[in-house]
Amino acid sequence: CIQEDIKKGKATPDTLTQSVLEMIKDIINVEQPKVNMSIIPDKYKRKGGPSREPLGNCPRCGKPVIEGKTGFGCSGWKDGCKFVIWKKPKTSLFKDESFTAADVRSFLKGKKVKKKKLYSQKSNKNFEAYLIMEDDPNSQFGPSFKLEFEKKSGK
């Protein structure tokens, strides 16, 4: 035992430190097996939380867009991609509205999404409109949204 050798003067504290560091390196470098999730009982599986199922491809880099805790972002964020759609955007237009995974799937397919509780500061009222995602690949922020109003039939 190294501690006994240190006590007897046969080893230095540095020897113990090096021994511990080598043991840690060995533990870190051992590849751990992947867990087969099908064998874990449901009561122990994580519930709630965001799904990591891809919602579509990022319009900026092509990697999958996935759901996070507060938004839907590109899985290529570690590579520098800044694409994200926040679940609850911080602009007054979305004061009473939020985005869902289904909304983001539609946006990524180029479809428009109808929202019924968009907010107008000017009139201090909610209104409904279709949102069309417009993304600038050079933007350091998420996409912008163009409003499209339903044409009312003339009576």
The predicted-structure confidence for 89-108, as pLDDT tens digits, reads as follows 888 899 999 999 999 999 99
Locate tokens 């060995």: which residue?
A: 26
pLDDT score at 104: 95
CA distance between the termini of the chain: 94
Angle among Cα 100, 106, 107 to the nearest 5 degrees reads: 90
Percent of the residues in the chain that have a pLDDT greater than 90, as a whole number: 45
User: pTM for this structure?
Assistant: 0.63
pLDDT score at 50: 58
CB-side exposure of 78: number of CA atoms within 13 Å?
A: 2
The predicted-structure confidence for 50-63, as pLDDT tens digits, reads as follows 557 889 999 999 99
Q: Which two tokens stand for residue 128?
A: 């409904």
Task: Centre a 10 Å sphere on the Cβ of residue 142 and count the other Cβ atoms it contains.
Answer: 18
Rounded CA-CA distance 65/62 in Å is 9
CB-side exposure of 147: number of CA atoms within 13 Å?
A: 13
Task: Centre a 10 Å sphere on the Cβ of residue 67 and count the other Cβ atoms it contains.
Answer: 19
